[in-house]
Amino acid sequence: MAYSHLFETGNIGNVTLKNRIVMPAMGTNLAGAHGEVTDHLIRYYEERAQGGTGLIITEFTSIDYEYGKGMTNQLRIDDDRFLTGFYRLANAIHKYGAKLFVQLHHAGRQSNSGLLGGKQIVAPSPVTCEAIGEEPRELTTNEVKEIIQKFIKGAVRCKHAGIDGVELHGAHGYLINQFLGPCTNLRTDEYGGNFENRMRFLEEIVTGIKAQCGEDFPVTVRLSIDEFDEGGLKIELSKKISRYLEKVGVDGLHASAGNYNSSDKIIESPLYEQGWKVYLAEAIKSEVNIPVIAVGSIREPSYVDSILAKKKADFVAIGRGLIADPEWARKAYEDRENEIRMCISCLHCIYSKGHVACSINARAGRELEFPELKPVEKHQIVVVGGGPGGMETARVLSLKGYKVTLFEKTAALGGQLKLVDEPVYRKKMTWYVDYLRLEMERLQVELHLNTEATIEQLLALQPYAIILATGGKPLIPDIKGCELPNVHQYEVLKRGEKTFYKKKIAVLGSGMICYGTARRLAEQGNEVTLIELSTKSGRKIGVQTRSKLFTKLKQQNVEILSDHKVREILPNAIILTDVCGKIVELPIDGAVLTMGVAPYNPLEEICKNHFENVFVIGDAAGFASLSEATRGGFETAYLLETLVTTKKEKVLS
């Protein structure tokens, strides 16, 4: 075992954890329509416990569904009827030696009237959260006391259900956070004004839980040590809060950051370095003697171990990393870190429709749909294409027991992921490509690089099935002039086949590759104008990530035109129409198209003339995202026998 600090036992209150790995609270939408624990939710958490995680903290759990709701299908503990579900969840987690805390939550002003059936949101004071845009109603003193009791009753229910402890959500701008902040708590009663009064709400929750559940029932608090918002909590005030909380009996602190006005600091985009928030935990650990949990896009076991070794924190939260790979802890313990599928911070889990999902783990949130793989006969399968979809297909087929041969026409695996060049994001994409490449080696997939598959090669192998993951080719927009010699596709630049220096270059498109191309051209000494045009990949980027990318581009003196239409490209200019319909002529030396990809699938028709079982996935099937490629590869491989049977039944009918 390489990571001795990571796998030391540790205590939070009187609860002993088998290691220092914490799964923090993250919303899943896997609860039932009325907030109840479901079988899907149990299995989701159970897999993370089975994978070796020491402590699992449930997603935020409502103690007041009428006024405190934070999302649809939010988990609830505000009524005794929810006890049975939590009892079943606790039993599932405890089977594997893991411990379970429930995060108790009230959204306060960060709810909205739509979630509350039209009712006005509530808060300590009528201070509007800019990100929500609704003025809250100030809670009466009696209502404040009632909410305190709801937190306490929620904790009592947790103890009755066999839960090991609770975490009070005092971070991210929610109700407890609002009481702590001098700019969100303007009250003049006993719960506002000076520091002690602002602390009273949280203090009475903590002391009430201890009185009802016993001193040995752990209570931790999650805090935004820095809200990164004007008027919000800063490090010095959070140090004072932390010292106070230790005195009133809190058993541990979970050091986070941000609120809804600075949500990119809560759930980080790919542009944030690993562990960027650890300094916040370190600042608090220097002030208190109770355990501190660090968080912040933490991915690599060696990095986690170094945090603990340097005593920057007592425990480390692996959040999205455990969505991407439920076995993160076990693989690290068994010195199999090369087999960890590390989260790339792409935010797909946040923006996915329905329940939680992951762009690189198709089973996330669907664990009941896809149980353990069943062994099959050792048939020969051919995968054409070594991008993420093709490699995911080959990985799952090999795990099932098939003999897999993979053809890739270039010298390296990775497909479109090789073209990402935003420095921090590229590193994370390299993690994923390396993971899949090493899986190909470990599972003994027969690789043929620098080999464009031909029908003759496929016929010689006589495969049981063929999966075509041949990817896409650059999409050429319907713009007059795209065929001119001064117009180039982004791939040509990425491969170094074309360079520019001190030229006026227009980059057309949107998305990570587009923005990276513009930045790189500017760094090389060119005068760059980004003409932002809608693309599939561009529409998948969140508002705050896009804003951060644009800030970086502007620092490189890239001019950004987001509201122009392109009429025509000329040898020395681009003709545009601005938002008012005025025609604008932009002088250029060259243009680069970054509009995404169109399907490239030259083998499908001929393969279907020779083989019964031919399947197309990823960009080759018309999709344009990593998540779609991964999902297509996983599902095709997992369900292959069913798909083959269905094809036969259609033929017979």
Give the model's confidence band at 625: pLDDT under 50 very low, under 70 low, under 90 confident, else very high: confident
The pLDDT tens digits of the residues spanning 109-143 come to 999 999 999 999 999 999 999 999 999 999 999 99
Residue 635, Cβ neighbours under 10 Å: how many?
19
Average pLDDT over residues 214-219: 98
Alpha carbons 629 and 631: distance in angstroms, whole number: 6
Alpha carbons 197 and 178: distance in angstroms, whole number: 13
CA dist list (Å): 284 to 218, 220, 229, 405, 430? 19, 14, 19, 53, 33
Alpha carbons 58 and 45: distance in angstroms, whole number: 8
> SS3 of 579, please?
coil
Does residue 275 have a pLDDT over 70?
yes
Please give the CATH number for the structural domain made up of 380-474+599-652.
3.40.50.720
> SS3 of 337, please?
helix
Does residue 460 have a pLDDT over 70?
yes
Average pLDDT over residues 213-217: 98
CA dist list (Å): 86 to 27, 73, 93, 132? 16, 15, 10, 31
Residue 498, Cβ neighbours under 10 Å: how many?
13
Alpha carbons 443 and 437: distance in angstroms, whole number: 10
Write down the pLDDT at residue 593: 95
Does residue 67 have a pLDDT over 90?
yes
Instruction: Judge whether 389 and 636 are in contact, CB under 8 Å.
Output: no
3, 44, 67, 174: which is the annotated catalytic residue?
174
The pLDDT tens digits of the residues spanning 222-265 come to 999 999 999 999 999 999 999 999 999 999 999 999 999 999 99
Does residue 421 have a pLDDT over 70?
no
Tokens (6 digits) for 262? 């600075």
CATH class of 487-595: alpha beta
Q: Where are the domains of the chain?
A: 10-333, 380-474+599-652, 487-595
Is residue 65 annotated as part of the catalytic site, yes or no? no
Does residue 458 have a pLDDT over 70?
yes
Long-range CB contacts (< 8 A, 24+ apart) of 234-237? Answer: 235/280, 235/283, 237/182
Write down the pLDDT at residue 99: 98
139 secondary structure, DSSP code: P
The pLDDT tens digits of the residues spanning 156-165 come to 999 999 999 9
Alpha carbons 441 and 583: distance in angstroms, whole number: 56
Does residue 1 have a pLDDT over 90?
no
Average pLDDT over residues 257-275: 94
Three-state SS letters, 58-99: CCCEECCCCCCCCCCCCEECCCHHHHHHHHHHHHHHHCCCCE
Write down the pLDDT at residue 420: 77
Least confident of 47-61, 291-305, 473-487: 473-487
Give the model's confidence band at 652: pLDDT under 50 very low, under 70 low, under 90 confident, else very high: low
Which residues pair with residue 99 across a beta bridge? 55
Alpha carbons 554 and 452: distance in angstroms, whole number: 41
Write down the pLDDT at residue 170: 98
CB neighbour list of residue 514: distance below 8 Å, 6 or more residues apart: 490, 507, 530, 535, 537, 538, 594
Write down the pLDDT at residue 271: 86
Give the model's confidence band at 474: pLDDT under 50 very low, under 70 low, under 90 confident, else very high: confident
Does residue 12 have a pLDDT over 80?
yes
Alpha carbons 201 and 192: distance in angstroms, whole number: 9
Does residue 653 have a pLDDT over 60?
no
Write down the pLDDT at residue 623: 80
> SS3 of 224, please?
strand
Write down the pLDDT at residue 596: 86
φ/ψ of 242, rounded to 5, equals -65, -45
Tokens (6 digits) for 291? 């355990």
Concatenating the DSSP letter of every residue in 473-541 gives: EEPPPS-BTTTSTTEEEHHHHHTTS---SS-EEEEEE-SHHHHHHHHHHHHTT-EEEEEE---HHHHTS
Please give the CATH number for the structural domain made up of 10-333.
3.20.20.70
Write down the pLDDT at residue 650: 67
Percent of the chain with pLDDT over 70: 99
Average pLDDT over residues 381-410: 97
> SS3 of 185, please?
coil
Alpha carbons 185 and 238: distance in angstroms, whole number: 15
Alpha carbons 583 and 12: distance in angstroms, whole number: 66
Instruction: Judge whether 289 and 269 are in contact, CB under 8 Å.
Output: no
Residue 257, Cβ neighbours under 10 Å: how many?
26
Tokens (6 digits) for 358? 């992951």
Query: Is pLDDT larger for residue 593 or for residue 545?
Result: 593
The pLDDT tens digits of the residues spanning 572-615 come to 999 999 989 999 999 999 999 999 888 999 999 999 999 999 99
The pLDDT tens digits of the residues spanning 337-366 come to 999 999 999 999 988 888 999 999 999 999
Alpha carbons 202 and 250: distance in angstroms, whole number: 10
Q: Which of 360, 315, 316 is nearest to 342 (CA)?
A: 360
Helices and strands: H and E segment counts in the chain: 21, 29
Alpha carbons 427 and 516: distance in angstroms, whole number: 13
Average pLDDT over residues 321-335: 98
